[in-house]
Structure 1
């Protein structure tokens, strides 16, 4: 367990296979204050075609362009800027809200999107909307990742077929009512990166569980949710994606998590564009072009041959994004991936000029868009 702070619940550290140390929040909320208006689709909604939405992509420099976000919280003139901040060690007991505020002071700007992880328990880990989330959501957007797990030691993985059967309905309904009472629109993703999971069930069972949760919310009249469908983004899993997709009527945003692993995985060095664009292009070519994209996690390791490479990687983000206009939000993963593993990767904003480059990128008009 990770110790809580005054006025905050004690929240368990999620123990996923990637052991990313997800806790309370990640810096960067997508707190979308409009009515989502998600409508239930039909069984077997197709993935082919452009999708059911039109993603606005007005150039930010366009004179007179209306850059106010759409009903689905899509910024027409650029993208939202966010970050995940790793939880502080237990002994430091730094409140999440303060950790995010401290980072924003360093960056010289507010983060648009804040990421919170939840399990499917009745504890503080599974509670929507927590006190810290209410505070963060006052002037940021909230993205809530709902994992089909019960965190603890040992961690318990829930089967998708059990969720679809209705066995979790009491919990689902409680959470739906809490979000409804919260009032502001939030983004909710169910069991992200399901494409690399083998113990939770089949793609058909995942789709059934996702739809079941969505439909429970709709039955209870919860209209302030935007639904996020998130895969790893690694092209080795691309043959699974369509079978895991619930259909356009059930998804408002699609999401994936690209990383420049480089030395920590023995991979070749890639620029930001080379890291992100292959999966972006796959989505555009395979029937997802009508959906806005949120990069839920991204980061880069170092290049030992070039100490300035990591800073240059971040400095080039705004220009690269302009060539991928359907990406409407992105959250940098400011943490160590698999910290307890010899293959762990350090994606923190550390190294020569790295923080300065990230600050510079965050000042670009393209990633400074009006919130709802």
Structure 2
């Protein structure tokens, strides 16, 4: 092959160089000379801060958020653990608190209850109500008459169950009070019973029971002169509890939303329950240990507005750290339906409530 003339060679080299620069993007097409295009620096990655996780402490108080719980299957033949699992599937959220009931000489938690709190996929904590004075009186328990029963249970729970759990003694004591001196069932007798049991089980080595005093909180009871005498002392009460319900039927007794449930006042007026609790016992977390919305059996009413009222009230009342729904199709008196699925609209509203991230609390410190 013959050699190119010098001018042709220079032109060819220039053409090849320009084409190469264009290929790698360093010149703009059509320009007379290759002009480098500056490459912008890589952007600095931004880190979006995440909200702190809500976890429970040694007294099972959440650092943020509210514990979510339930008692399901009451007044039915369905075992409580099976009923709760069905309820969870229906409502779309695990009940972090599993509420159960025992009396007298029962040894608890039962194997089924223990299994429910050892499910790694669905972490739960027990809330156990114990009528320790079953068959006797509060005064008798306070005098040591049930110490054998108490010690036997304490040994069992100390050796068989290591997780922290909530313990209620004789919830809703107001309905059992007999104010006649010497009855053994006065409000002061209840306080003495409560103090004796908690002091004794602690002496027996039970250190993982987180104590709850669960009032009924009805207007007529708050108005009683003896009502304040039920409280046994801050040193033996970890949480102040409330059992309270509202009706979904307009015009019926206790018709209203979640605020009505929390603000029950003494008959004739006065301080409502929530304000009393935070004022008389500042720093104590409040548990709504039983709550529900009902209508009369066979008279279905939409419970959606009542369920929709819960979240705004919880935001307004930061002392409430746990709410536990009591679900039953037919209550003790046989005339109230407290189930969350008594109508499709009621269930839909309850599922929206259950889905709130406010209840995303991780059990820790157990």
Is the TM value for this pair above 0.5?
yes
Rate the CA distance shift 1:222–1:202 in 2: closer, same or farther, 3 A. same
For residue 337 of structure 1, report the CA deviation from its aligned partner.
5.9
Q: Which stretch of structure 1 is more off in the superposition, 325-334 or 235-244?
A: 235-244
- Three-state SS of the structure 1 residue aligned to 2:235 is helix
1:130 CA drift (Å):
0.7
Unmatched 5+ residue regions in structure 1?
1-61, 151-155
Q: Say if 2:195 is the partner of 1:248.
A: no
The answer to whether the aligner puts 1:192 opposite 2:167 as a matched pair is no
Please state whether the residue corresponding to 1:146 is helix, strand or coil. Answer: strand
Q: What is the TM-score when the length of structure 2 is the normalising length?
A: 0.74
Deviation of the 1:264 alpha carbon: 10
Q: Match of 2:59?
A: 72
Counterpart for residue 315 of structure 1? 308
Q: CA deviation at 1:183?
A: 1.0
Q: State the partner residue of 1:160.
A: 138
Query: What's the CA shift for 1:319?
Result: 2.1
Which residue pairs with 1:127 in the alignment?
107
In 2, the alpha carbon distance for the partners of 1:369 and 1:159 equals 38
Q: 1:97 Cα shift?
A: 2.5
* Residues 321 and 327 in structure 1, CA contact (< 8 A), matched pair in contact too: yes
Cα distance in 2 between the residues matched to 1:141 and 1:246: 25
**Hey, what's the Cα distance between the residues in 2 that align with 1:307 and 1:159?**
40
CA–CA separation in structure 2 for the residues paired with 1:136 and 1:263: 35
Deviation for aligned residue 1:266: 3.6
Match of 2:337 in 1: 346
Post-superposition offset of 1:324: 1.0
Task: Tell me the distance in 1 between the aligned counterparts of 2:343 and 2:90.
Answer: 16
Instruction: Check whether the contact 1:316–1:361 (CA below 8 A) recurs between aligned residues.
Output: no
Distance 1:191 1:268 in 2: 24
The change in CA–CA distance for 1:244 and 1:309 in structure 2 (over 3 A counts) is same
Residues 132-166 of structure 1: per-residue CA shift (max 9 Å, x gap): 1111111201011011454xxxxx4x201111111
* 1:295-334 alignment runs, 5 A limit: 295-302=288-295, 309-334=302-327
Post-superposition Cα deviations, 1:317-361, rounded to whole Å, max 9, x if no partner, equal: 1222111111111111111564455xx322111124111111110
Task: Return the alpha-carbon distance in structure 2 between the equivalents of residues 288 and 254 of structure 1.
Answer: 8
What corresponds to 1:98 in structure 2? Answer: 82
Cα distance in 1 between the residues matched to 2:214 and 2:300: 33
Instruction: Give the distance between the partners of 2:89 and 2:253, measured in 1 at CA.
Output: 34
Q: Note the C-alpha offset of 1:99.
A: 2.2
Contact 1:232 1:256 in 2 (8 A): yes
**Matching residue of 1:226:** 210
2:248/2:302 contact within 8 Å kept = no
**Residue 171 of structure 1 aligns to a residue in which SS?**
helix
Query: Residue in 2 aligned with 1:370?
Result: 362
Structure 1 residues 263 and 333 mapped into 2: Cα distance closer, same or farther (>3 Å)? same
How far, CA to CA, are the matches of 1:164 and 1:87 in structure 2? 30
5+ unaligned residues in a row in structure 2: which ranges? Answer: 1-48, 179-183, 264-271
Secondary structure of the residue aligned to 2:81 is helix
Q: If you compute each CA radius of gyration, which structure gives the higher value, 1 or 2?
A: 2
- Scaled by the length of structure 1, the TM-score of the pair is 0.73
| Aligned partner of 1:81 among 57, 61, 68 | 68
Residue in 2 that maps onto 1:177: 155
Higher-RCO chain (CA-CA 8 Å, sequence separation at least 6): 1
Q: Structure 1's 133 and 356: CA in aligned 2 closer, same or farther, altered over 3 A? A: same
